[in-house]
Amino acid sequence: MKKSLIALAVFGAFSGAALADGSNVQLYGLIDLGVTHFSGGADGNVTQLSSGVQSGSRIGVKGTEDLGGGLATIFDVETGFCANGNTGAAGSSAYCTGGPGGPGFMGRQAWVGLKGDFGTIQAGRQYTLTFDDQATIDPFGYGLTGSISNIGTVSVPARASQVIGYTSPNLSGFTVAGQYMFGAGMQYAAADQYKATGGYNLQASYANGPIGVTLSYIRANDPSGNAFVKDTQISGSYNFGVAKVAAYYSDNKPDTNAVSTANLNNLKAWMLGVTVPVGPGAILASYTHLSNDTVANAGAKQYAVGYTYSLSKQTNLYASYAHISNDTAAKYAVGDATDGGFAPAAGGSSSGLGFGIRHQF
């Protein structure tokens, strides 16, 4: 009891100090646990309790400090964790993909910036602008077994380290943004990594009422300056009230001489999706098509349906199903927000079913 009172007193002291100096610091997080069943993989059917089916389980600290004159400091540091208790190594039965989400502790995000009338500047490890567009346009929010990431994101990185980014103020619905990636943030195994340009990401968007449209371009380089990702993406949505429809197209044309372990094929993907509000929940559906212009018969198609049900503003239940049909030279697999799934043999199909609960705090 004494320890609890002391802890409360210390927390109250820090909270009072934060309020007194104009700071606002928030501890937040998300825990997501669901039962998943994947079939079609080389290991046969797999059923498990998964961490991070709809969204990766995480905990973080974010905040702002009012500097006066319309200027504020902002920051966010965030790490992932395995909510199902698994801590084993990759390939073992105890493996959990919902770990830090990047290079170590606070690997999901770690950035600080300034915000004012001029816009927002952020520096650190951040989500790429192109990823943000993908997660926004996907009816499944880049999660559940119907995630666009299963076949539709054409090797675009979700996050990047050593990034400086700028986002303009919203001008009647229009915004522009850009990110510069230092070479060292790409973790090159080369002596000149600190002299190289890692890449850049540009974005223009319009959102006003029921309409949303985005256009982005991302380039990620190897140490020689050749692009192993060079993707142009456009997406749009319209909310009719009774349903929100969404469409997406992405074209990745990496340099053929790039030295990288990433997929260097010329990939094109498009998606059509819909979100239909039903009571306190929503029905989700999408169709995604991937083509490979470098390797013959290496495309795939995905059909996905799902449902989310809100128990409160912070807690929801979910269920989803997806199926991938691979061309004869492809072996894409159904996964979820944190699990990449279990790859089938080339030309085989893959299916995934998941249901569970997500709580945000």
pTM, two decimal places:
0.88
Instruction: Give the separation between CA 119 and CA 53, rounded to whole angstroms.
Output: 34
Residue where the block lists tokens 């709809």: 54
The Cβ of residue 141 has, within 10 Å, a number of other Cβ atoms equal to 20
Instruction: Give the separation between CA 204 and CA 167, rounded to whole angstroms.
Output: 10
Instruction: Give the separation between CA 103 and CA 126, rounded to whole angstroms.
Output: 12
Domain count for the chain, please give it.
1
Confidence at residue 106, expressed as pLDDT on a 0 to 100 scale: 84
- Three-state SS at 252: strand
14 occurs within a structural domain: no
67 occurs within a structural domain: yes
Using CB atoms within 10 A of its CB, is residue 129 exposed (0-12), middle (13-18) or buried (19+)?
A: buried
Instruction: Give the separation between CA 282 and CA 246, rounded to whole angstroms.
Output: 15
19 occurs within a structural domain: no
Confidence at residue 331, expressed as pLDDT on a 0 to 100 scale: 95
Q: How far is CA 320 from the centre of its chain?
A: 18
Phi-psi map region of 15: left, alpha, beta (phi>0 left; psi -120 to 50 alpha): alpha
Instruction: Give the structural domain span for 202.
Output: 24-360
- Three-state SS at 135: helix
Confidence at residue 186, expressed as pLDDT on a 0 to 100 scale: 74
Confidence at residue 89, expressed as pLDDT on a 0 to 100 scale: 53
Instruction: Give the separation between CA 80 and CA 200, rounded to whole angstroms.
Output: 25
The Cβ of residue 78 has, within 10 Å, a number of other Cβ atoms equal to 23
CA atoms within 13 A on the CB side of 118: 9
CA gyration radius for the chain? Answer: 21
11 occurs within a structural domain: no
Q: Which of 129, 121, 127, 262 is nearest to 187 (CA)?
A: 262
CATH code of the domain in which 217 resides: 2.40.160.10
| The one-letter amino acid at 10 | V
Q: Give the pair of three-digit tokens for residue 75.
A: 């920051």
207 occurs within a structural domain: yes
137 occurs within a structural domain: yes
pLDDT in tens, the chain (361 residues): 444 444 334 334 444 444 445 689 999 999 999 999 999 987 789 999 999 999 999 999 999 999 999 999 999 999 999 998 876 555 444 556 666 666 677 889 999 999 999 999 999 999 999 999 999 999 999 999 999 999 999 999 999 999 999 999 999 999 999 999 998 877 665 566 666 788 999 999 999 999 999 999 999 988 888 899 999 999 999 999 999 999 999 999 999 888 766 668 999 999 999 999 999 999 999 999 999 999 999 999 999 999 999 999 999 999 999 999 999 999 999 999 998 889 999 999 999 999 999 999 9
